[in-house]
């Protein structure tokens, strides 16, 4: 307590030294006066009284110094002095300061900006109490049935069936709570206007398990999902309530139409909670047992795997113990389900029973964005870190050059008795100050960078809800960077600058040469480092650019230009199948009748949108072993789809309106399907069916089309079966493709009008040009290529500036030597060769050091590249050529100056 | 010593404290008065004494110090410790005499 109080008192005194000094002076004056008065009373003369009093008081300056020492923090005060001095010196050379601050600002800004996003995607934990207790459940291994998955590379292990969930929830002994969720897009109507919203359908214990409360009203409760159909209630996310309903509290207990079903708003979730899936922010939460469409969800079905589970460990139970604890229960549940798996041999059955439940840490929520954007972010972070290293090297180079100029000042101060430690401290304070100024500028750049990235992610459907705001961990990161950079570029020049031979420096003539050489050595090291880093960045930028080029030039097998796309989902508004089809037909007719619309088609699974659907197929003439065991993608389409998108028909015919729900069932297959299933025969006229071998082959193949990309730009084309949508069950939504004569966006309004003319409560979603849709697919590639390009260019320019600086400095230093050489008959070419030899060695060393680093980075980014390798001969050669060219450019001016040296002037130059 | 002086004298200015200490010690202790002021500041920062500007008996503006409650406690504590220490020392010195 006491020390704290004293520290505080001292700290306050830092800011009022002047008043303290005045007070002490007054006090001492009073003291003297009392003493003199006493002495006078004792009979001394005035002069004697004064003298005695002064002697008794002792050295005034010493008293003052002691007093100040006690009053404040002498160390801090001198640090403040250093800072003040540094500010004065920096202001005296505004050019140097501006360049240094700008360079650092760019470096620190880019790093902080990328880190802001990286922190949210890879590091930030869910804003709930004790996130470390949360676990995600996975059930990897073979199983039969329908699996809907949203995580990559898990084979759907994250999806469980509802009955399995109930058993796990009620019979486990290691979890405090086990919640389940699924994501859904819903049509939300309020006061007559309808729009689509992202919903999390969750079990009633979801909020309780997470420890999330309501801002107003209540969250969902276990009772809300106790029975199928249960409580028709809905909870809004705070941001949605704020932005869409203007934060209107009157909304509580009012009714919204969710997919045409009335549901009561019972509450608003606490601000800050944005679901458990970073990058996917739900706007509403609905009990999982609410039927959202006429297609019933699988609440009873053990073979419908669709919900994702998150649990909270009991206090003191570790993840490993919980996993072991769940094993017997999971095993017995699997034994119960075994009879449901049909047609398996003993090995397959054994594999099924041998499956283990796997728990993973859930503190950061579901790792979907982490998996899809994490590696890119880490690669970007590495690139910007390299930029920062180059920036630091540049500033260190500048400081060293400045140090050389300040040699006389430093020498003078050393000879006047300043200690080297104190001078070093002062120089480091100066660099920290530069670094801090750079950070201030950097924060502006960071804010811009992260906001742009967040906006970009939202625009291109990569992630929603990322924030560009710089929060406290990010600021901490920026502070750490500041300090690190200040030390990184400050220490070596400070040590170098203060190592001065006093005599020679003060004598000045020979000084520049003697101390210059050690300065030059440091600057050479810095140039080597810059070249190495620049090589890394330029190689990386080249690789990303080649990858983007490759991606952009993938032949999709269809013609996406002048096509407008949009999605309507009448099923979400409670349409039955007949009404849906009537609606689709009417819409097709209305839109084709629009002027400037050439043709229209539609598909159940939107194209190039990362969405696909598949099932097992059985075809005519298959061997019994293969029958029903092979898998193919499927899509339901409108008549005229292939001609509309210019997908060539190889054989047979397209679908027409005549292929309706009553007429014979037909299918069109793609080339890959034909090759895989009918290697030797003509498929047209053959029969096939979806599903296993039992039952009749109900569909006749009427055509074969050329392969085209279906779900993504980078996908491997797979066997695919098209059927007319009017012969498909449960077509809830179609994505329409409208080919137009001019700019497709000009018909956008007319399209909206056509939809609302048929049903004003149906929202139109994903309205954009088909080209834009395809563009979104390689948005990330574009972004990374652009950023890598910017950083690579920045790195190359900074490295060139470094080389230029070093060479210019060397030429200035060696003017005398050059003059002598020229006077002795050396010609200009020899001089240039002499200078460039040095630089060439530096570049070579930089390249040799840079190659392994580039190789390491290459390994990291290879997985992000499309049919390109980061570390390949052409890329490296290109990067080297670029660096060489820049070096030559950077050397040109100084070299020319060297050849223009007039021997007479040079010899007098000192 | 400063604390004790303030305890016995109440409100006092710097010079007064210095004189008083000198007098109490029977002029055995004689240091530069200047060293007094940093010590006073330290005690004030620790909260053992407080100070305010006032006017002395001969109408001179001066800074007056007085003991705070914490200072009184601290004084008692230090006095106790001192007595204890001297008592222990005394016992040692007394005990050694017969042996030597």
> pLDDT by residue (tens digit) across A792-832?
998 888 888 888 888 887 887 777 788 888 888 888 788 88
Residue B4 in this model has a pLDDT that exceeds 80: no
* DSSP H helical ranges for A465-510: 472-498, 502-507
Residue A173 in this model has a pLDDT that exceeds 70: yes
Q: How far is CA A370 from CA A123, A129, A566, in A?
A: 9, 22, 29
Residue A513 in this model has a pLDDT that exceeds 50: no
| ipTM rounded to 2 decimals | 0.75
A50 to chain B, closest Cα gap in Å: 14
**For chain A, what is the mean pLDDT?**
86
Q: Which of A11-25, A311-325, A537-551 is the least confident region? A: A11-25
Tell me what the mean pLDDT of segment A108-133 comes to. Answer: 93
Tell me what the mean pLDDT of segment A442-461 comes to. Answer: 90
User: A63 contacts in B (CB within 8 Å)?
Assistant: 32, 34-35, 37-38
Interface mutation vs chain B, best among A9, A31, A52, most B CBs within 10 Å: A31
Residue among A581, A463, A534 at smallest CA distance from A122: A463
Which residues are A267's β-sheet partners?
A217, A235
Portion of chain A with pLDDT greater than 70, in percent = 96
Q: Which of A137-151, A174-188, A228-242, A713-727 is the least confident region? A: A137-151
Give the nearest partner residue to A70 out of B32, B41, B61, using CB atoms: B41
Q: pLDDT tier at B100 (50, 70, 90 boundaries)?
A: very low
What is the spatial distance between Cα A592 and Cα A116, in angstroms, rounded to a whole number? 48
Portion of chain A with pLDDT greater than 90, in percent = 37
Contact between A35 and B33 using a beta-carbon 8 Å cutoff: yes
Give the nearest partner residue to B14 out of A27, A37, A58, using CB atoms: A27
The SS3 assignment for A458 reads helix
pLDDT of residue A439: 92
Residue A895 in this model has a pLDDT that exceeds 70: yes
Q: Which of A192-201, A573-582, A734-743, B42-51 is the least confident region? A: B42-51
Strand positions, DSSP E, A653-805: 666-670, 687-690, 699-705, 720-724, 734-740, 765-769
Which residues are A724's β-sheet partners?
A637
Residue among A176, A122, A155 at smallest CA distance from A310: A176
pLDDT tens, A514-544?
445 666 788 888 888 888 988 988 998 999 9
What is the spatial distance between Cα A612 and Cα A787, in angstroms, rounded to a whole number? 31
Contact between B32 and A9 using a beta-carbon 8 Å cutoff: no
Q: pLDDT tier at A909 (50, 70, 90 boundaries)?
A: low
Give the nearest partner residue to A58 out of B34, B46, B58, using CB atoms: B34
* C-alpha of B11 from chain center: 13
Residue A553 in this model has a pLDDT that exceeds 50: yes
**For chain B, what is the mean pLDDT?**
78
What is the spatial distance between Cα B77 and Cα B89, in angstroms, rounded to a whole number? 18
Tell me what the mean pLDDT of segment A385-391 comes to. Answer: 89
Residue among A597, A568, A603 at smallest CA distance from A739: A597
User: A62 contacts in B (CB within 8 Å)?
Assistant: 34
pLDDT of residue A172: 92
Q: pLDDT tier at A263 (50, 70, 90 boundaries)?
A: very high
pLDDT tens, A44-62?
888 888 887 787 777 777 7
The greatest distance separating any two alpha carbons of chain B, rounded to the nearest whole angstrom, comes to 62
User: A5 contacts in B (CB within 8 Å)?
Assistant: 45-47
* CB neighbour burial string for A223-233, b if at least 16 within 10 angstroms, e if fewer: ebbeeeeebbb
Contact between A30 and B32 using a beta-carbon 8 Å cutoff: no
Residue among A99, A281, A286 at smallest CA distance from A206: A286
Residue A1 in this model has a pLDDT that exceeds 60: no
Q: pLDDT tier at A39 (50, 70, 90 boundaries)?
A: confident
Do A770 and A646 meet the contact criterion of CB atoms below 8 Å apart?
Answer: no
pLDDT of residue A671: 94
- Chain B residue with CA closest to A32: the answer is B15
Tell me what the mean pLDDT of segment B40-51 comes to. Answer: 81
pLDDT of residue B50: 81
- Show which residues on chain A lie within 8 Å of chain B, measured between beta carbons: 2, 5-6, 9-10, 23-24, 26-28, 30-31, 33-35, 37-38, 56-60, 62-63, 66-67, 69-71
Angle subtended at Cα A163 by Cα A158 and Cα A167, rounded to the nearest 5 degrees: 90
Q: pLDDT tier at A35 (50, 70, 90 boundaries)?
A: confident
* DSSP H helical ranges for A814-872: 815-823, 828-861
Tell me what the mean pLDDT of segment A73-100 comes to. Answer: 82
Tell me what the mean pLDDT of segment A432-456 comes to. Answer: 91
Tell me what the mean pLDDT of segment A663-670 comes to. Answer: 94
Q: Which of A134-138, A404-408, A594-598, A693-697 is the least confident region? A: A404-408
Residue among A735, A693, A444, A697 at smallest CA distance from A588: A735
Residues 6+ apart with CB under 8 A from B98: none
A418 to chain B, closest Cα gap in Å: 27
What is the spatial distance between Cα A228 and Cα A264, in angstroms, rounded to a whole number? 17
What is the spatial distance between Cα A858 and Cα A870, in angstroms, rounded to a whole number? 5
pLDDT of residue A640: 92
Residue A654 in this model has a pLDDT that exceeds 90: yes
The SS3 assignment for A656 reads coil
Residue A512 in this model has a pLDDT that exceeds 60: no
A422 to chain B, closest Cα gap in Å: 26
- Chain A residue with CA closest to B57: the answer is A34
């Amino acid at each position: 307590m006491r020390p704290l109080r004293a520290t505080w008192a001292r700290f306050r005194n830092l800011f009022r030294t002047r008043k303290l000094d005045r007070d002490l002076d007054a006090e001492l004056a009073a003291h003297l006066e009392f003493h003199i008065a006493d002495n006078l009373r004792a009979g001394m003369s005035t002069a004697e009284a004064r003298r005695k009093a002064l002697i008794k008081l002792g050295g005034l300056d010493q008293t003052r110094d002691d007093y100040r020492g006690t009053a404040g923090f002498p160390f801090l005060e001198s640090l403040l002095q250093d800072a003040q001095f540094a500010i004065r010196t920096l202001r005296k050379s505004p050019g140097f300061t501006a360049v240094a601050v700008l360079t650092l600002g760019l470096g620190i800004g880019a790093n902080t900006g990328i880190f802001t996003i990286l922190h949210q995607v890879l590091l930030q934990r869910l804003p709930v109490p004790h996130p470390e207790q949360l676990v995600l459940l996975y059930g990897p291994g073979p199983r039969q049935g329908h699996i809907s998955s949203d995580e990559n590379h898990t084979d759907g292990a994250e999806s469980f069936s509802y009955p399995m969930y109930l058993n796990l929830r009620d019979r486990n002994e290691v979890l405090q709570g086990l919640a389940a969720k699924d994501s859904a897009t819903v049509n939300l109507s309020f006061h007559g206007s309808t729009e689509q919203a992202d919903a999390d359908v969750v079990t009633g214990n979801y909020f309780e398990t997470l420890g999330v409360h309501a801002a107003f009203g209540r969250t969902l409760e276990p009772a809300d999902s106790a029975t199928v159909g249960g409580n028709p209630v809905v909870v809004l996310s705070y941001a949605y309530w704020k932005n869409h309903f203007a934060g209107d509290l009157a909304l509580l207990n009012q009714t919204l139409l969710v997919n045409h079903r009335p549901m009561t708003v019972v509450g608003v979730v606490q601000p800050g909670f944005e679901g458990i899936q970073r990058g996917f922010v739900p706007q509403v939460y609905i009990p999982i047992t609410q039927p959202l469409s006429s297609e019933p969800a699988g609440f009873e079905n053990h073979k419908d795997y669709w919900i994702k589970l998150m649990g909270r460990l009991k206090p003191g139970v570790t993840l490993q113990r919980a996993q072991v604890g769940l094993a017997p229960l999971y095993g017995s549940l699997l034994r119960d389900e075994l009879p449901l798996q049909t047609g398996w041999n003993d090995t397959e059955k054994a594999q099924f029973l041998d499956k283990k439940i796997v728990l993973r840490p859930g503190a950061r929520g579901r790792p979907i964005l982490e998996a899809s954007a994490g590696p890119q972010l880490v690669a970007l972070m590495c690139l910007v870190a390299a930029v920062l290293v180059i920036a630091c090297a540049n500033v260190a180079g500048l400081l060293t050059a400045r140090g050389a100029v300040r040699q006389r000042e430093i020498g003078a101060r050393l000879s006047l008795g300043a200690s080297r430690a104190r001078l070093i401290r002062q120089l480091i304070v100066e660099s920290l100050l530069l670094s801090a100024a750079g950070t201030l500028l950097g924060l502006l750049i960071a804010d811009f960078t992260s906001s742009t990235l967040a906006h970009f992610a939202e625009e291109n459907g990569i992630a929603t809800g990322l924030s560009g705001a710089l929060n406290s961990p990010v600021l901490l990161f920026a502070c750490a960077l500041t300090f690190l950079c200040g030390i990184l570029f400050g220490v070596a020049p400070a040590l170098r600058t203060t190592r001065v031979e006093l005599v020679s420096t003060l004598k000045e003539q020979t000084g520049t040469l003697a101390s210059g050489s050690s300065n030059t050595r440091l600057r050479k090291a810095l140039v080597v480092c810059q070249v190495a880093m620049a090589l890394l960045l330029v190689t990386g930028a080249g690789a990303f650019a080649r990858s983007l080029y490759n991606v952009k030039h993938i032949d999709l097998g269809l013609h996406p230009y002048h096509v407008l796309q949009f999605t309507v989902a009448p099923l979400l508004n409670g349409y039955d199948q007949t009404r849906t089809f009537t609606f689709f037909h009417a819409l097709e007719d209305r839109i084709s009748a629009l002027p400037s619309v050439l043709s229209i088609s539609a598909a159940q699974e939107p194209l190039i949108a990362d969405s696909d659907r598949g099932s097992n197929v059985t075809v005519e003439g298959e061997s019994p072993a293969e029958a029903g065991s092979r898998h193919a993608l499927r899509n339901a389409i409108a008549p005229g789809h292939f001609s509309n998108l210019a997908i060539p028909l190889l054989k047979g015919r397209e679908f027409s309106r005549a292929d309706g729900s009553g007429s014979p069932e037909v299918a069109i297959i793609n080339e890959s399907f034909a090759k895989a299933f009918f290697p030797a025969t003509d498929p047209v006229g053959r029969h096939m069916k979806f599903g296993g071998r039992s039952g009749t082959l109900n569909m006749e193949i009427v055509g074969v089309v050329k392969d085209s990309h279906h779900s993504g730009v980078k996908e491997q084309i797979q066997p695919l079966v098209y059927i007319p949508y009017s012969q498909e069950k449960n077509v809830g939504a179609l994505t329409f493709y409208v080919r137009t004569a001019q700019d497709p966006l000009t018909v956008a309004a007319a399209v909206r009008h056509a939809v609302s003319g048929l049903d004003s409560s149906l929202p139109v979603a994903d309205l954009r040009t088909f080209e834009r849709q395809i563009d979104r697919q390689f948005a990330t590639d574009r972004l990374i290529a652009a950023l890598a390009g910017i950083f690579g260019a920045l790195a190359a320019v900074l490295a060139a500036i470094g080389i230029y600086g070093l060479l210019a400095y060397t030429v200035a230093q060696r003017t005398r030597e050059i003059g002598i050489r020229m006077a002795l008959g050396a010609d200009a070419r020899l001089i240039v060769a002499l200078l460039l030899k040095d630089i060439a060695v530096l570049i070579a060393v930089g390249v040799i050091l840079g190659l392994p680093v580039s190789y390491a980075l290459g390994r990291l980014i290879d997985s992000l590249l499309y049919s390109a390798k980061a570390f390949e001969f052409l890329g490296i050669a290109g990067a080297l050529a670029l660096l060489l060219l820049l070096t030559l450019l950077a050397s040109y001016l100084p070299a020319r100056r060297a050849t223009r040296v007039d021997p007479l002037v040079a010899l007098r130059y000192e | 010593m400063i604390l004790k002086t303030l305890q016995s004298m109440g409100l006092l200015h710097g010079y007064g404290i210095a004189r008083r200490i000198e007098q109490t010690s029977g002029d055995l202790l004689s240091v530069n008065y200047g060293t007094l002021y940093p010590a006073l500041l330290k005690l004030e920062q620790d909260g053992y004494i407080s100070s305010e500007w006032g006017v002395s008996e001969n109408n001179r503006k001066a800074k007056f110090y007085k003991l705070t409650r914490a200072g009184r406690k601290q004084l008692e504590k230090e006095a106790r410790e001192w007595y204890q220490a001297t008592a222990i020392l005394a016992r040692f010195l007394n005990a050694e005499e017969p042996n030597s």
